[in-house]
Structure 1
């Protein structure tokens, strides 16, 4: 357990940002036509916010409407047998300033999916939470081969 992590597994604000900065893919949740939608996005951390690019449609519409959104990332370390999860909740907005776009690009933000992704979106944090926890040891005989927990035993 990290020296900053609370005994109950709660991550500090800085630990959450560090995990966000060290990851590249998250799940963006937005409300569309009154119901939640979730999209995988690749992103970078820029000025303590999340920046990503999109072709438009749903994610751009949400950003133009400055609607609330959430981003979730999680992971598992087979060496420590710990999992973690970080959730950022906030508001989206379109990045208009070319200097900000250039700064985001310099951080390596490049779309994974083919096609033009000319719209830059920022998700600014209103709330940031995370936790780390020990996972149960897998029953190697009964656990699916794809279960990441098995890596610590094989």
Structure 2
């Protein structure tokens, strides 16, 4: 497998493609490569016709491949940026969720305490026990119902 194309190697290829005589080139049956004006570019042994076709197309293929590579890298960079943005959003949402869960747990504990006091008040009221004037069961129930938790 061929090694990945480094930015340095890509720059070298791009510089060679830019410096080469303008294309497109064409291949003649003699194995000679000519530019679009018919000027001689290269000669390839006739025993390798596929090589001469490859060389003839290199003038247009290399710039096209470099352009495609640049487009793919730009798409990749955009996708990475979107993924990072979504990751940051997910982290914020997770933090918010944990905060909400802690708030729900605290409210559930408070509700349990209120229910315990309510049950004690009901039991005291049912047994006819008073607080000795400090508070009445009715005042506790009223405060609990109002949600203030403050007994007067």
Flag whether TM exceeds 0.5 (same fold). Answer: no
Quick check: which one's strand share is greater?
1
Quick check: which one's helix share is greater?
2
